[in-house]
Structure 1
């Protein structure tokens, strides 16, 4: 049992407070029914109970469900019922007023939240009910600091007159959890652009793709791209993994380039990101970048893919 992972969630006060604030806005004491999908140790379900929910159903398929059951008993939360399965496996589930599911990762969609909440909207939620989170916005920005890239180029400096370029290629076709400072990013991170938005519950497409571009005001060397997300839980309550947002247990992601792109002023770079996620196959990510000159002609293109980052 990965209780250490759950400890990091419990310790994330920013996350917990945002979820509590969102639930408080939608729960009418003594009336509202709630389903907590992916309940973990039961924290969010217990929050809903403490806020006055009439009934709380907690769905959890992993072995931590035993901890949730014991925690519910220890807190005397008689309005809570723990169901040891994934919500999608539940036959003829009871309909509720609010579905909440904090199944977000460093890559927002890696825990299949799209499929989970699309099913929840169809089978678990009452007409006119509320899904938390409501939307996820995904952002990307060029990385202009070389430190993250140099870390991955260690293969070229091992010495002994050895060529480890095959291993280097695998390293660069991977995505890395990192924390970025403003100086690492184009325009201090203010140049970040949204490449994808998911309306959870309504959008059932777990294959995502988007592209954005930047025209540079000054010369820069681009070493890859930083990624983060912002989740709108309910109107007025958000969670963000941006570098300048209140710190959470989540971090940003680094999408490297195979070779840094050297852009002059008025030249541009276009990045395309795509992902597909499923319970069976996990999450697959791919990204490409195109360097355009001042006249819009393509000068260089690179395409990377997480599938190329695994040892065959």
Structure 2
């Protein structure tokens, strides 16, 4: 699916490759998340007007029609729009869904819409995404009381092990290939690697978002440079720290429905994005790992981002309070806060007991006589 102001013709041509659409359609985690989010919230769609930005083959538009939308504008900039018309006709929704072959920035609609639906995400959320176009559509066509599907997104990062680039090549069919693995790692030092990471190789499973976006509020300028400083991960298993793994979630505005590309969730075509470290490091449960992350638009192609990862010495950086890592200063602070909380709880109990005594000793005028 695709639509954007700053894209080149090759971007839209890539979405005329049916293999690309086959990959997305057969991504069951992706497709089912959208189907559930739309069909389980019929009250949002019934009798409403919907704009599908980057409609592709029309699948999401059909979900909206099935949920009771009165009109759906399926906007697709590539020539896949012709196929979308046929798919929509095949499913008997031609009277509800209008397919428009256009960039959304060139679109004209007779009125504003109630809902914007789009599957705009790229690798590590922002790479080659069409979020700019979605935000343009929001500002131009969405009613003030309208909603967006999805409505929120978040990017996560965690230290990880990479056996695929290390131990898997210690011996292959009786041959040592460590030098090959070393050369392979070097080839990825200056560029991210999209791959699938097993959940067992994630070293901090309770990772927190490094940034979040509310799609009803965020502005395009926000996307030019995203900086996340002092991202702290507390390692919850002993292992070898060899890279940083990125994944994302998107959430829908109603119902508890989330599409996640986390290693602990079913695999998607987005997989995960890995930054390979120049050297590996042994870590133990409770160790703290800290880094700065900066995503900056590429000057030559605004659909691409440069990722800067700055490793920090977690022992000498300020940690959030409380922090569950095993550094002495954090242990002391955590213990102090725990003791303070217990004292406060005891005081509250004593106050309650005093209140109870006062109540018990009170007498009515009749009893005093």
Does 2:47 match 1:5? no
Please point out which of 239, 250, 259 is paired with 1:239. Answer: 259
8 Å CA contact retained: 2:293, 2:310: no
Which protein has the bigger strand share? 1
Aligned-partner Cα distance in 1 for 2:110–2:187:
44
Does 2:246 match 1:224? no
Bigger mean CA deviation after superposition, 71-80 or 143-152: 143-152
* Correspondence for 1:128: 145
Normalising by the residue count of structure 1, what TM-score does the alignment of the two structures yield? Answer: 0.81
Deviations 1:238-278 (A, max 9, x none): 10011111333331111111222455787643222222348
Deviation at 1:221, TM superposition (A): 3.4
Deviations 1:8-67 (A, max 9, x none): 222223322221222231555651111111100001101111222100000100121111
Deviation at 1:226, TM superposition (A): 0.8
Deviation at 1:83, TM superposition (A): 0.8
Over aligned residues, Cα RMSD in angstroms?
Answer: 3.1
Bigger mean CA deviation after superposition, 54-63 or 81-90: 81-90
Alignment of 1:147-296 (within 5 A): 147-148=164-165, 157=179, 169-186=186-203, 189-204=204-219, 205-206=222-223, 207-211=225-229, 212-215=231-234, 220-235=239-254, 236-262=256-282, 268-277=288-297, 280-292=301-313, 294-296=315-317
Q: Give the match's secondary structure for 2:246.
A: strand
8 Å CA contact retained: 1:155, 1:168: no
Count how many residue pairs are aligned between Structure 1 and Structure 2: 290
Q: CA separation of 1:276/1:124 partners in 2, compared to 1, >3 Å: closer, same or farther? A: farther
Bigger mean CA deviation after superposition, 117-126 or 35-44: 117-126
Structure 1: unaligned runs, 5 residues or longer = 159-163, 298-312
Q: CA separation of 1:215/1:244 partners in 2, compared to 1, >3 Å: closer, same or farther? A: closer
Q: Over alpha carbons, which structure has the higher Rg?
A: 2
Q: CA separation of 1:33/1:222 partners in 2, compared to 1, >3 Å: closer, same or farther? A: same
Aligned-partner Cα distance in 2 for 1:284–1:29:
35
Alignment of 1:84-99 (within 5 A): 84-91=101-108, 94-99=111-116
Bigger mean CA deviation after superposition, 274-283 or 126-135: 274-283
Q: CA separation of 1:216/1:126 partners in 2, compared to 1, >3 Å: closer, same or farther? A: closer
Q: CA separation of 1:52/1:185 partners in 2, compared to 1, >3 Å: closer, same or farther? A: same
* Correspondence for 2:96: 79
Q: CA separation of 1:151/1:287 partners in 2, compared to 1, >3 Å: closer, same or farther? A: farther
Aligned-partner Cα distance in 1 for 2:208–2:44:
37
8 Å CA contact retained: 2:169, 2:178: no
Which protein has the bigger helix share? 2
8 Å CA contact retained: 1:138, 1:228: yes
Bigger mean CA deviation after superposition, 252-261 or 270-279: 270-279
Deviation at 1:171, TM superposition (A): 2.5
Aligned-partner Cα distance in 1 for 2:45–2:283:
58
Aligned-partner Cα distance in 2 for 1:269–1:11:
36
Aligned-partner Cα distance in 2 for 1:214–1:28:
38
* Correspondence for 1:104: 121
Aligned-partner Cα distance in 1 for 2:145–2:212:
22
